[in-house]
Structure 1
């Protein structure tokens, strides 16, 4: 994929880079950001755009003009960045924070493409935010411990994409962004603390978000345990105590729930839905679906759409 070069002299909004599966991008309307810029509950710090790119192979951006502050947090894979004053890698667990007015470029690794949360933001307190976090032009990168604890607020912010953009939703987005930034110093390792320390347990909402973001993949027990920072045995035991089921069964049930929504609301075939959920074998997907829901996918769809062909046996599946 070709590199996207953004040259706008007045705005530095996100590119229209094609979204990978499971990704999202929210760009607030210009009229709304103008309101947030003067509203007493938002004008100190507010987002103009935010999103989540999953396994973003080929993602690379270069900006000569930059009017927003930019935050990029890598939670999987790796990439690299370069500014007028600094350059380096950005790996899982690291955050990049760039001030406005600085030309920059960044790119995902071809071998280990990154998954990132990101936000463009503005406000009277944006510069003070940089000072608060100890970020400088020469050192724009932070390493975070136990960052998974932030995911409930990140999820709330991303879920605003499903709401009509209003002043109230914009103020809520500003409040969530400020809350996220305010928590970062607590997650920065102190002197003598490992830069790669992992939490000694797991946070179920964070795991659910990780699973939801990766419904299009085939995750192993080791993948989930690594996210939680635990051994596979310890993680599986703690997960079962918390939920009453195994991690992989929980993950597959989330896939089936999403498959139900696709069957209810789209015209995608069962094969297409299976592929979208990371199943190369549609027959295996159908068996898993029937084991969870009690009926095969086609019969499930016909039960919600009576005009569909219901002449087949409920257990039959193509």
Structure 2
């Protein structure tokens, strides 16, 4: 099957997150784009094999059947068939914001996404094609693009390794992962948090997550969690006189004995002494009219 290139030059006129720019299906020839393409691309291998070269790397990556190649706009690249005339590719290019793309797992780095079958994806490409070009229906084409992205997300989620990145994850994505993990620790410090489970949830190994924490916070995930718990305990000691030391320890997810030992290691005094010191400081500040100072 072949679908000649159809383009929608007015694809940015209506207010949806994604709009179709070009669509088609053909035997892929060698392409070299030193400045990248002006829109984001999805290249669906229907049959045959190809190779892709990202201009910032000194290697070529193979693209086999049942693989979707995602290349973000403006990313320099080149791709070629392994054998001339033996790489059948369906393609859809689209415009969309970074936020919208990120919500679908399409970041600012290329990715080779293995899928179970391209049959449904190719059917959706053909339907997008029928609503493009001279018969362009912007709403219908965008709706079908969402259906294509949904099917891609569904199938890639079923794979053991859903998104095989062709290049290292960009620093912004790494930072976002660490911040999500850190926020989770803050939200659920009172629970028994397993770093192994946390790493699995954000898609990294424990070793990778530890490396990212060291780079971002100059501490390991376990040390960061300890800091979060002790800081929360310190605040509760100062602001909630009705809670016992044991209650505070359990509230922040620590055994009371362990909490006392670690608190002393960090602040130089045990929690009970700290509470008395802060109470005296508050009384003195009240008498002098000055606000108490926190360490």
Q: Please identify which structure carries the higher helix content.
A: 2
Superposition TM-score tier, normalisation by shorter sequence: 0.3 to 0.5
Structure showing greater radius of gyration is: 2
Normalising by structure 1, what TM-score? 0.44
